[in-house]
Structure 1
């Protein structure tokens, strides 16, 4: 597909993103199949700033000796995701889009102070049983080499006759030997606190009233906070050279609340895990985390 590159420098302000989101609350009824947006949004030099990394680490529970968190570049790219979803050419309202899954791959070690070129574009439509899904690609380059990438899947519910490749089966999980290894107590203001770090001020995360407008009885935790917290609990010290994380988001986590990390008590650079309610009978997120151990 031929994309039209648009350089986004400086980054959009939070006020501008909020205004764009409000304008995109209503879209005309789509007549026929949706067209994939052709814009490729580019930030030419985004710093992995020590202050930004530290704020994200505090929000998710990473320790400094773990290096740059594997999930951190998603935060830098998220404003470009919002810009794509709120453009007039995008066929659906941005509000109400549900984050279904994320796939992250890191190809080289990331360093504080490093500048990345970020490229974000709509990659493909996906036909999901519950509606129309869209994969948004993020590619991060350092010194002209691909160092980090992700694919984020978003769902628009209740769309008839969705187009694209069929939604594939979710991540498998070996249930035998799965143990509850951590409990997380989540405060009522977690969504507001993470919004200040991530830039995701979706009202379903930041207020009870906003959440109820979209059918939730209380505010719910950000999916990317849940992934970050799970990775913080498992990412080894010393930083990562090559790694990948896959996750499928399932039931929402209501705030305040408590959840638990369930995984296998194994050694080595591979983790299959779920974030569940404390009793263990309701899954909130399923994940796979794999890294290449350093040879140093």
Structure 2
């Protein structure tokens, strides 16, 4: 498919996204290799609103003195991710896509009131050992300059002969050197609380019944909440001039539940960490966070 740029203004409503998701539950089968969708979805001027940042920060544990959370622009771009995954041009049902990893880079300081141009597109197919993976790119521009970017890896399980470069970007971490630094208690309604600020009302996060329909015995915590909560525990005060954060999602976190943050020995403005179960023997997420000291 030829590249097509579509301006999305205003963003789709929650109802529209849900209806598109239902329509995308069934897709016609196809022969041969999947075709990478060519659409580029653009929101030309998205304001970093103080009230929305505060609500997101409250949900994930960020404090106001930490500035704009490093993971926050992903929330603004997520509706565009859903739009891509539910398009007729996308070859798989959106409901079967699993969020495997996220890579974020911030190049300039973000400030409340700033307007960003968001561009989201399917970047590449990735051949994963468990099936066909797809990288969705998000690029945020301020005054014409790239200020923030992320790459989100989604997986469709059990696809034979996946195409693309082999997946080889998993985070290495020496598990023996980690120590438990925090313990988190997660309420049963965490998924619904986070959905109100991120716009992701996937039933596996918001409903026990919905989670059971997709093979989970209870609702599970949203991976981007886990990522945000881990960054909130480690992002320094004063805001970030530049930073990067990587995470690989591992085992689901069932709600309600308790988990713990484990950290490697601190090396300057660099944090290697895992979110594990309380016993410390099962990883839910592995991460790396590096920032530029002011």
TM over 0.5: yes
Q: Which residue of 2 aligns with 1:173?
A: 173
1:231-282 Cα shifts (integer Å, max 9, x gaps): 0000000000000000000000000000000002425100000000011000
**Larger displacement relative to structure 2 (66-75 or 169-178):** 169-178
Say whether 1:116 aligns with 2:116: yes
Partner of 1:157: 157
Mapped partners of 1:223, 1:2: distance in 2? 32
Residue 275 (1) aligns with residue 275 (2)? yes
| Aligned counterpart, 1:45 | 45
Aligned residues between the structures: 294
Q: 1:31 to 1:202 in 2, by over 3 A?
A: same
Local SS of the residue matching 2:177 = coil
1:167-198 Cα offsets, whole Å, 9 max, x none, are 11510112343100000000000001101110
**Secondary structure in 1 aligned to 2:105?**
strand
Equivalent residues in 2 for 1:68-87, closer than 5 Å: 68-87=68-87
Distance of 2:30 and 2:245 partners within structure 1: 35
Matched residues in 1 for 2:14 and 2:177: separation?
A: 45
Matches within 5 A, 1:12-51: 12-51=12-51
- SS of the counterpart of 2:285? strand
Give 3-state SS (helix, strand or coil) of 2:185's partner: strand
Structure 2 counterpart of 1:146: 146
Please give the secondary structure, in 2, of the residue aligned with 1:95: helix
Q: Report the Cα distance in structure 2 between the residues aligned to 1:28 and 1:267, rounded to whole angstroms.
A: 51
RMSD (Å), alpha carbons:
1.0
The TM-score, its normalising length taken from structure 2, stands at 0.98
- CA–CA separation in structure 2 for the residues paired with 1:192 and 1:64: 23
Q: State the distance in 2 between where 1:35 and 1:63 align.
A: 43
Deviation >4 Å, runs of 4+: none
What secondary structure sits across from 2:204 in the alignment? helix
- What is aligned with 2:241? 241
2:235 corresponds to 1:258:
no
Separation of aligned partners in 2, 1:188 and 1:149: 32
State the Cα deviation string for residues 192-240 of structure 1 (Å, max 9, x = none).
1101110011111011111111111110000000000000000000000
Structure 2: where are the runs of 5+ without partners? none
Unaligned runs of 5+ in 1: none
Greater shift after overlay, 169-178 or 208-217? 169-178
What SS does structure 2 have at the residue aligned with 1:272?
strand
